[in-house]
Every structure is written in C-alpha cells, then in structure tokens.
A and B are shown apart, each in its own frame.
Chain A
C-alpha cells in the first residue's frame, strides 16, 4: 500500500484520504511494475559515430561512457588510407550502473571522408542502416518473434570539423542521405581550438546552413506545459546550444586541487565537464539522462515505420505490375454464388467424393486448363461437367485461375469461378 500512496493524485488532501482509500483500485503501481520488468530485461542502445578521422570521435565516446572500446586500435598512415574504403565497425559492450544494465553498441565508420575522392562515401553507411531495418522487418514479419535482436541505429553523432567555416559539401551530402533514416545529432568536434565568439558564430552558421539545405536533424521534443519553470529553462538552453561544441579527453589532470577530466595546455587546463568550457555535459545529459528513450522511440515510430511503409509499397507495386504472378493477398472481392449453383456444387461434391471440386462452368474449366486454346461451348451441360471432371482428375496441379482468363468465359448463366475462392484444386 505504501508504494501505491506514492502515486496518489496530486489533488488528494488528507481529509479525502479515507474516501480515496475506498476508491483506490491499485493500478497506480503500474509504473513501478514496468520499472521492475525493464530493469530485469535490461536496455539496449545503438549509437553511430561518423565524421572525418582525427576529430576525436573515439575519445568522445570514451568520455561519454567511461569505457575504452578502442584499446588495440592501429592508426593507418596517410598512404594506406588513400585506397581505403569506408568500413563499418561494431563494438558492443555491456555496462551496468546501480543495477541497471545497458547493452551499448557503438557503430564506427573509419575511413569516412578521408579519401581524395569522397563521392558517395556515405553509401556504405546508408546501406548498413537499411540492412538493420530490413533485418528487423524480416524478424518482425517472421514466425518466431520472441527474441528479436534490435540492431537498428538509434542515434548518429555527426562530427563537424571546427576548422571550417560551417558545413562542408561532404557534411551536407552525408546528412541529406541519412536524415530520413536515423536521428542525426550534429556536434562541433575539438571545440577547444575555438574561442567563445568563434563558437557562437560557427553554431549560427551551421544552424543557418542546416535550414538552408533542408536537413532534418533530431529535434528535441517539446516539454509539457505543466512542467516546472526550471525544467523548461533547461530545455530551452538545450535547444539553443545545438549543435553542441564538445571536447573529449581520456586523461585526468589536476586543476585547482581537484582531479578532473581535461586537457593540459601550456596556457591553461580545459575541463571537459565544465559547462563554461564546452557543451559536453549538455550532450551527455541529453543523450543518456533525458533523451535516450525518446531517441529510441523516434527511431521505432518514425524512421522504421517510414522504411517499412516504403518497403511494403514497393512490394505491392511490384505485384500489381506483374499480374500473372500469384497473389498472396486476395485482390478481387469474392462474389457469393446463388442458391442454384450451391446445390449443384453440393451434388457434384458427393459424386466426386469430396475430392476435386470442379467448376460448373464446363467450358470455363477447359479454358483454364488450356488457356490458349479457343474452345466452343459443349452442347450439354452434363457432358461438359463430366468432361470437365475427367480433365480435372487427369490434370496435374493447376495454378489457380487467373483473373484475365475468367473474363474470357462465355456466359452460361452461372457465375464464373473466381480466383482463389471456393474451388480447391489438386
């Protein structure tokens, strides 16, 4: 009962307590139950990092999650990199904090933007993202859906070089190729080479260019109107700081008597977690502490659904193009046969012994079996029926009647058989 009281409505006053106890059903403990189950199941998150090499991607990932994923990395020389193509590397690590487990997957893209000719260098990356969506789509449509592995990319941190005057053509190309498939969070890397006024100018410039090129980066959701002022203020600051100017560091230095993560320069110490120095803290809070679930939701509800709709649309348009193909989904409506037809069908069924149910429209059947021959309607119905029966018995497996052939049936006063309807063929 004590846990239930925690979720009591705000409007309750001590005087109403007794009344509320009487009205209390108990589903207010649902959030607790969800919490317990989720903690047991554990969480997963896939983060992609992209950008030119040397922008501090690995260092930033290390600083964000405090784990070293790149211990034995070998840096390639420039000559080796001339002929390198963009690779996709996945690192998975299980981290735990206060009993909550997180399976973190980092997708790295070494070689991006490094070559002399970088045309379409984002293609391997779009292919990878599409592949993950396809895999999930297949799993979802499959029979055994118990343990679907969700490898879809939930967020892509794109590192923009601080040495330019804004977005480069390669940056624009990459973001336009991926903005409808994945949540893109643009970052300004190595922000310690810029003074505050330069950072401001660069951020403005980048924001303008993102609007100009129509790039859809990840938008922070609006906070509810009943949140308190503090939270709203934080949210506003967050939105105004995008794109975040970040600095990463693997080393701990001594500053003002404290040990902090930072970079030691002859002219001063840059502290990674100091909000005046860079936006690292804002990025970490956004990515991990407040918006991680929203990123996953947007991936599932928006990007994946777009992909799925697109995929299905492609599939059905392919099917209607080729009408000779077997249609797994009934396209034409099933007309109900009249009572006379039903009776005759039942009669014939008994004769045949429930085997092959044949069409009453004799010539129609014949025309099915020999679709390209022109047949004259038989003189008597019964004969036609028998002939048809024999034909059916002798014939091997026949493909279900096709729509365009049924149109050729000479009208015999009976409904022509419709495709895939009541007729079972051997």
Chain B
C-alpha cells in the first residue's frame, strides 16, 4: 500500500520498484477530475514473474489522502480497509469448510511517503503513523529526495528518526520483533542509519557513461535512480523485495493479524465472529487457537 499526499511520486516509485507499469499515475487522470473529496482506496492486482517465480502483487493506492483543507480523521477509511482485510481472512479461517490456501488480501506493507520539507514531519504524518503503526507494517520513505542536498538529507533524516522515537511510533522493522541477535544487529543498522530511505523514482531511461540507466534529466545533471551516491532507491528495493519480503508477510500474519484476531475474539466473548444469523444457529466453536496457516 502506498500512502502520502498526492504528487509525491508514489505511483512512479512503485512502477520503478517492480520495473513494470503496475500503478496508474495520477497525472494521467482526466483533466476534469477533481481531487476526490474523501480518501479513496484503489487496489490493482498484477501477477509478475521473475526467474520462474510468480508473484501476485497488489498495489493499493490512496488518492485524496491529506489533500483537503480539513484532514481530520482522513486515516479512518484506510484503517477500516486494513481491518476489513483482516476480517475477511478471519472469516475464512473460522469457516467449517475452509480452503486450503486462504486468499490473502491483507496488507503486508505500507510505504508512507514523507514530504521533503527539510524541517520535520508534518502533524498529519505523525497522526497517521501513530494510528496505523499498530495495525500494519509501516516503512517511512522520504519522497522526491532530489530536492535535498546531502547535508540537508542527513539532518532531515535524523530529525525524522528522533520525532518518530519521541512519539513512540514503531516502524518496520519493529525492535520488539527481532528474533535473534543476528537479525537484531542487522535491523539495528538499518534502523539507525538508513531509514527512512530517501528515494527518487523514475520510469525514464537515459544514457550515462555508455549505460542506460533509470533517471531524471535536469539542466544541471542526470539523477541516477540506482546510484547509491544519488539516492537510496536501491537500498529500499533490496530491503523490501530481496531480503525482507517474506519477513514482512510473516510479521503481518503472526503479529498484526493475531492482534486483530485476539481483539475480535475478546470482543465476542471468546467466540469467533459468526456470519450474521448463521453464527447464532451454529454451535459455538470452542476458543482454541486456530492453527497458523502454512
């Protein structure tokens, strides 16, 4: 799921991450379309393949977030959507005749795009992350990082990290879920130094030193997306796809989903949620913990 105010380059970045047109860009909207009044949730599913491995990727975009004059509670539709996915999964799980592989529409990762003001987080960012870091894995990302020079970038990152810490916002990888020492040191390093990743996205290619690279061509130079000296896109991509993809799914399933499930069961008095009338007709299932899928 990609979140953030419109115009921060979310769609471009997602396209760059997966090297394919998986996200429809907002600028291709019809000129007559207005900024949506409420936050919409648009989910587009794709199947991409690499080296014989197929992946079903669903990109959820949230146009209209943070665009209005009054943005109070604009995170509520998003929270609702995430909880709805958990609810769907839960219903499938407690079903008597349930499928072998439950279709998993839960949100595994939320990329939150921070506007590169250079000062600090915006109040809206803080409020959103406070509410959502408890239900989904949030990876904060500094958008359009070609606005900042190297010093500004490091200062801004430090300030953002400090603000997140002071406000008790646990972004992925969460400290409390590090399982062993090896994980801990590796994640610590990422947490303290690289996050939040300052990225630049682009779907255009240019010729640099004889190679064709993804980048942005400005009158004063070409910004290479995959050059670590220019931005941290490569770090983000490796982090999300190459090393921590499975971990993201596991944390979502083992921790966020279980938290949701426990809460639902508690609310229901230890009974699993039934499906309307049907639930009351069926005999109550004893509250034994369901076996974890896979």
Contacts and interface: CB of A to CB of B under 8 A. Distances in A.
Interface of A: 52-56, 75-79, 81-82, 114-119, 121, 161, 163-165, 168-170, 173, 190, 192-193, 195-196, 201, 208, 263-271, 274, 276-277
18 contacts: A53-B117, A56-B118, A75-B120, A76-B120, A78-B121, A78-B123, A78-B126, A79-B163, A79-B166, A114-B122, A115-B123, A119-B69, A165-B6, A170-B69, A193-B144, A195-B217, A264-B149, A266-B230
A169 B220 contact: no
A81 B221 CA distance: 36
Contacts of A52: 117
B163 A268 contact: no
A81 to B, nearest CB: 5
Q: Which of A77, A79, A170 has the most CB of B within 10 A?
A: A77
B209 interface: no
B245 interface: no
Contacts of A193: 116, 144, 146-147
Contacts of A54: 115-119
A78 B72 contact: no
Interface string B1-40: 0000111110000000000000000110001000100000
B131 to A, nearest CB: 12
Contacts of A192: 146-147, 218
A269 B119 CA distance: 22
Contacts of A190: 147
Contacts of B26: 165
Interface residues of B, number: 49
A117 B70 contact: yes
B68 interface: yes
Contacts of A276: 219
Contacts of B220: 265, 267-271, 277
Contacts of B67: 168-169
Given A79-B163, A163-B8, A163-B143, A116 B115 contact: no
A81 B123 contact: yes
A169 B146 contact: no
A164 B120 contact: no
Nearest to B121: A78
B266 interface: no
Nearest to B144: A193
Interface string B214-234: 001111111110000110000
B188 interface: no
A115 B72 CA distance: 9
Q: Which of A79, A192, A195, A208 has the most CB of B within 10 A?
A: A195
Given A78-B163, A163-B143, A193-B144, A265 B122 contact: no
Contacts of A81: 122-123
Contacts of A267: 218, 220-224, 230
B124 interface: yes
Interface in B123-162: 123-127, 143-144, 146-147, 149-150, 159
B119 A75 contact: yes
A164 B9 CA distance: 9
B167 interface: yes
A271 B220 CA distance: 8
A25 B185 CA distance: 91
A76 B159 CA distance: 11
B105 interface: no
